[in-house]
A and B are shown apart, each in its own frame.
Chain A
Amino acid sequence: MATDDRQARQDGMRDRPVVLELLEISKVFPGIKALDRVSLTLREGEVQALLGENGAGKSTLIKVITGVYRADEGTYRIRGVDAHVANPRQAFARGIGVVHQERSLVPTFTAGENVLLDRIVGRAMQVVDRERIHRDARPYMDMVGLDIKPSHRVESLSPAQKQLIEIARALSMNTRILLLDEPTASISLNEADTLLQTINRLKLQGVSILYVTHKLEEVYEICDSVTVLRDGKNAGPTSPLSELDRDQLIARMIGRSHTNAPLPARVLPDRRPVLEASGLQSAHSPIPASFVLNKGEILGWYGLVGAGRTELARAIVASDRPTGGSLRINGTEVRIGSVTDALHRWRIGYVSENRQEEGLILAHPVSRNIAITVWNRLRQRFGLLDAGAERQTAETYRKALGIRMVSARQAVGNLSGGNQQKVSVAKWLASRPEILIFDEPTVGIDVGTKYELHQLIWNLAEEGMSIILISSDMPEMVRLADRILVFKSNRIVGDLANDRDYDAMSRRIMERIVGLTPSEDAAVAVDSVGAKAIQ
């Protein structure tokens, strides 16, 4: 690559005027400090990567910049002037455009209309001259390299094309600062190339771009500088990329091992497989996956967001119907028909990452949320519920997990994030599963609760429960897992025994993800896992 060229560019960058400046921005949500004195500097014509793990505060920061949230503390300047951005419209007016991961297009309108949406819907009593709209939209579509007719309906476009339309729209509104939230997460490589070219072109026109991503390749391909967030704080100042090599960047992202006391070492007495998957696939997890989970083991699934871990977990518990492959539990081949089946018959629980939408019934009391998985067992004559037993169950787990609440009749929605997560876990523990899948159990909860949950997971495994831990939090993974499967693009690309040496482990894992080329890597991994499954 043209490293010298980039070097030169970045040196020139320092003289450019600062367009966006955040100083010591803090934002507190009930129970958690999402942003803790975060600072960021973006210059004209600069492409800056905003990196960080899940829950590091990237999306909160984006929302502060675009006026969705207001910062509790700190200074927010645009071109050196204090900016009061109270809502997204005001952000647009100040030249800040954002393209979120979820699309904000009107699917039933044409591409051109969506680009100039402001103009179409801005004036109620005006006849829309579509020909003109389409003609006027053309230059903006050209700017982003969209090679389709402006009269094309948006709903029939590919995800990448839709994304480019949103960028074109932002440009049509005189955007000088463009925020892109993981723009390449759901598009193909070819399309990503087009997008990256577009970004380069915009930058030459003086547009400043803040680029949220998980993909380090892209960062080195197009970015000039980088800001890294970790646990809601800056992990170092905004720095030119030329000053950081890949290893240093990774080190910044995942940080050092936390000072918290390490968990006692674990000795796994026997390697008895409890759950064996071979070639398991579903509509959402189309690539056959094979792995083995042993009795009393904590099996970590590490990968970047969107690597297909959740999808595979859902195929196991039949939340997504498996379309191929087989599952063996304790050596016998089983066919799991539904989540009910998985829970009540095969004793596999899945603690969803999305606790608000899938884990809990926020409007219902704590006691009901905890006992929901055991209602069937609390059934008395005439299908009546043993209310006393329900209360007792709730009380048992409240104590065991230290859930802080006023009473068990309190609605779960009124608890803090950490306590909500504890309720979500409690409900699965109440069902006494043999296999428990934790999907990102500590995202968005405070550090104290996080360590309590780590201890809990560790204890459960010690008591013989077999656990799959899905996490994008590297320290958590290295701390807890006995063995780590590395996921990339729906494939298992590594099966590593965890020696709990943080630096070495995190390096080995990241090498699997960013280092090797995917094809050879995948082949190796599938072979090794396959061989293990046969043994």
Chain B
Amino acid sequence: MSLPRPLLPDAAVPEAPVRRRFTGGPSGAAIAVVVLAVILAVAAPKFVSLDNFQVIAYSVANLAVVAFAQMAVLAAGGMDLSVGAIGGLSAVVVGGLMEAFKVPPALAIVAGLTVGGLGGALNGFLVVRTGLSAFIVTLATASAFTGLNLGLTSGQPFYYLPDSFKAIGSWTLAGIPGLLLVMLAVGAALWFVFSRVGLGRQILAVGANPRAAELGGVPVNRSRIVVHALAGFLAAFAGIILTARLGVAQPTIGNDWLLSSFAAPIIGGTLLSGGYLSVPGVIAGALLLTLVANGLIQLNIDPYWTQLFSGLMILAAGGIDRLRALNLQRVERAERFALANDPAARRKDA
């Protein structure tokens, strides 16, 4: 197919009408991770050490699971401000059951995950049923869950957790922290669900184009509830592995998750408009955020600045997302005119 070149507005049309896209997201984050890692390896002598590697691994494992939760809801075109609250609540439920009621760890964990899943499902149900925005619903339930957490615990942590439970947080495999492997397994499972299972495809279809999804026979409301439940489940998962790692069930767990839960997916190319997600991108985003925090410590810079850098990174990621969208629009427009609106030139070509 050849194009009527002279009539193009500013020669912005590529040779073939097949366009590339999404080169920015996941791969961009990965490149940033590599660059930052190299800089740190050169600048900070203690950066490359087994200890530091493990510190980073634990942090990434936790952060990535939190970000998976947000990623899932974003992909369905929503958002969940209550991931932190659910994570904290599940953590104290598990801790409380084990300490106060001597419930075996396995059962306690199941209970904690159930609480998270139900909390998330409640979010989804409210969004679907009341027609209120996910923003205001999850803002309100976040408050409710946090209050429940604090009311049950009176703000006191559970310190006396069984060793078998704490072991979950500390096992390693050939020097690789087990939690990192767990996170990768969760990521792989999510990747499979979202790329290969009807349910995952339903959720993505709802996120990309609810009308098309509905016409295609997707139970739109049910998908929304399911994705919120999934997010709640993942948030609980993150809260529980963090508890195991810390060895203490802190009611404050999840307080500071909100920002990074959005930051990692956005940096990793998950679209805010819904319909697209990238599991490797989220992991890369989580790694980038962790490296920045770690790097500040390694370079003896006040860790107080961490948040400033996180904020700037989110802004940059938002900017890249925007540029991508603008570029797509421009190409599309140019194509439309080149192809559609000039029969005269086309006739000569054809």
Contact = CB atoms under 8 A, between A and B. Distances in A.
Are A and B a genuine interacting pair, yes or no?
Answer: yes
B341 A490 contact: yes
A120 B201 contact: yes
A189 B346 contact: yes
B198 A159 contact: no
A128 interface: yes
Given A155-B21, A188-B340, A518-B343, A106 B9 contact: no
Interface stretch (B96-104, B156-164, B203-211): B203-211
Contacts of B175: none
A308 interface: yes
Nearest to B274: A108
A4 B196 CA distance: 53
B343 A489 contact: yes
A302 B276 CA distance: 42
Nearest to B202: A121
Contacts of A284: 333
Contact of A286 (B209, B275, B337): B337
Given A188-B346, A286-B8, A124 B198 contact: yes
A106 B212 contact: yes
A385 interface: no
A108 B204 contact: yes
A191 interface: yes
B167 to A, nearest CB: 34
A490 B342 CA distance: 8
B174 interface: no
Interface stretch (B86-94, B215-223, B298-306): B215-223
Contact of A121 (B9, B217, B337, B340): B217
Interface stretch (B12-20, B45-53, B120-128, B242-250): B12-20
A489 B342 contact: yes
Nearest to A158: B17
B343 A105 contact: no
- Residue in A88, A121, A125, A189 whose Cβ sees the most chain B Cβ within 10 Å: A121
A375 interface: no
Contacts of B271: 108
Interface string A163-188: 00000000000000000000001111
A357 B285 CA distance: 38
Contacts of A103: 212
B197 interface: yes
Interface string B315-350: 000000000000000100101111111111011101
A89 B196 contact: no
B182 interface: no
A106 B275 contact: yes
B31 interface: no
A403 B10 CA distance: 46
A52 to B, nearest CB: 22
A104 B209 contact: yes
B312 interface: no
B213 interface: yes
A518 B341 CA distance: 11
A36 interface: no
Contacts of A185: 340
Contacts of A247: none
Nearest to A148: B18
Contacts of B212: 103-106, 117
Given A108-B276, A189-B347, A126 B205 contact: no
B269 to A, nearest CB: 12
Contacts of A384: none
Contacts of A88: 215
Contacts of A108: 204, 208, 271, 275-276
Contact of B218 (A121, A159, A189): A121
Interface string B185-206: 0000000000011110110110
B1 interface: yes
A186 B336 contact: yes
A158 B19 CA distance: 9
A122 interface: yes
Contacts of B348: 519
A107 B209 contact: yes
A522 B344 contact: yes
Contact of B339 (A121, A188, A283): A188
B198 A186 contact: no
Given A121-B202, A519-B344, A130 B339 contact: no
A159 to B, nearest CB: 7
B344 A156 contact: no
A401 B274 CA distance: 45
Interface in A101-151: 103-109, 113, 117-118, 120-128, 130
B7 interface: yes
Contact of A117 (B199, B216, B340, B342): B216
B340 A186 contact: yes
A121 B198 contact: yes
29 contacts: A89-B215, A92-B215, A104-B209, A106-B204, A106-B205, A106-B216, A106-B275, A107-B209, A108-B276, A109-B201, A109-B208, A118-B217, A120-B198, A120-B201, A121-B201, A121-B202, A121-B216, A124-B197, A124-B198, A156-B21, A158-B17, A158-B18, A158-B339, A159-B340, A188-B339, A286-B7, A287-B341, A519-B344, A519-B348
Interface of A: 88-89, 92, 103-109, 113, 117-118, 120-128, 130, 152-153, 155-160, 185-191, 281, 283-284, 286-287, 308, 323, 489-490, 517-519, 522
Given A120-B205, A517-B344, A519-B347, 15 more contacts: A106-B209, A107-B208, A109-B205, A117-B216, A118-B217, A121-B218, A122-B198, A122-B217, A157-B17, A159-B339, A189-B346, A191-B339, A287-B7, A490-B341, A518-B344
